[in-house]
Amino acid sequence: AETLGESAAQSGRYFGTAIEPGYFGEQPYVNTLNQEFNSVVAENNMKWETTEPAQGQFDFSGGDQVVAHAESQGMQVRGHTLVWHSQLAQWAQQLSGDALNQAMIDHINGVAGHYQGQIASWDVVNEAFDEDGTRRDDSHFQQQLGDGYIEEAFRTAREADPNAQLCYNDYNTDGINAKSNGVYDMVADFKARGVPIDCVGFQTHLSTSSDLSTYQENLQRFADLGVNVQITELDVGGSGTAQADVYRAVTQACLAVERCEGITVWGIPDTYSWRAEETPLLFDGNYQKKEAYYAVLEALNSA
């Protein structure tokens, strides 16, 4: 097939991108989005500080634009993210104990409830672990609520949208290491105790020097716990063949793991990336396809 989305669909997978509705007025942006991708995620618009800037006052304007565009094009939507220590509204950072716990529950009900039935997978909790595999101690949720907030968030999200898959999502968990071991133990515990979790997202923010030697094995060991796996924020700092090789390896790893449902890249043109100076995406600033694009397309078509 000729596009990323159609090529991924040949094996029942999706190929998605993070988007910002602020760029919808730019024709090449929308053309590339509509032609190449069959899944989207809001790069920022469904985060707490945006969706509930004041307690109990929800603003879904940006997120609704993302969902409306996706529905008009028959694309899936990933939801990002319900509970994250970063981009958390100021008011929530002032709350402690029970008040914060209730605010978290109300936030999940408000946001996942609003989008009920429209989200394929929610990143219920994002980036809750430190590099050493323990819980991230600079998280306001962790500090105020302890380990149990993650489980509470998943149970709440299941009730708010029973049709969405519920994911845990993190970075630097791409290979087998202390951090991914910590997440693995949590997912194993959740599965053993019946805490609702359906998927694990591997952000996969990489560079040309990233060690991918255990990447596929890591995806597979999570899949073997009985959850789906997704590559959720892929980008690779670098250029040319070295960059294309990393993109190809990631794509091939996903294709080799039956429960790897799809790949999302973290933006369309390099110039709009959070890592713009590292040119980490599949299209250059003029929406020209890069070598990395062709490597991914070819890998998807040889599955």
Catalytic residues: 127, 233
**Among residues 200 and 297, whose Cβ is nearest to ligand G3I?**
200
The label of the residue with tokens 């993650």 reads 150
How many positions of this chain bind ligand G3I (CB under 6 A)? 9
Task: Give the Å distances, CA to CA, from 51 to 37, 111, 175, 205.
Answer: 25, 7, 32, 25
| Per-residue contact string for residues 265-294; x = within reach of ligand G3I by CB under 6 A | ---------x--------------------
> What are the residues facing 167 on neighbouring strands?
123, 199
Q: Which residues, 187 to 226, sit near ligand G3I by CB under 6 A?
A: 203
CB 60 to ligand G3I: min, Å = 16
When binding is defined by CB under 6 A, the residue of 38, 39, 43, 164 that contacts ligand G3I is: 43
Task: Give the Å distances, CA to CA, from 55 to 47, 89, 197, 299.
Answer: 14, 9, 27, 46
Q: Provide the residue type at 260 as one letter.
A: C
Rule CB under 6 A: say whether 44 interacts with ligand G3I.
yes
Q: For residue 84, give the H/E element and its range.
A: strand 76-84
- Strand, coil or helix: 115: coil
When binding is defined by CB under 6 A, the residue of 152, 174, 233, 278 that contacts ligand G3I is: 233
DSSP 54: B
**Among residues 31 and 86, whose Cβ is nearest to ligand G3I?**
86
Rule CB under 6 A: say whether 87 interacts with ligand G3I.
yes
The Cα 21–Cα 154 span in angstroms is 28
**Among residues 44 and 73, whose Cβ is nearest to ligand G3I?**
44
- Measured from the Cβ of residue 59, the count of other Cβ atoms closer than 10 Å reads 14
Which residues here bind ligand G3I, judged by CB under 6 A?
Answer: 43-44, 86-87, 126, 171, 203, 233, 274
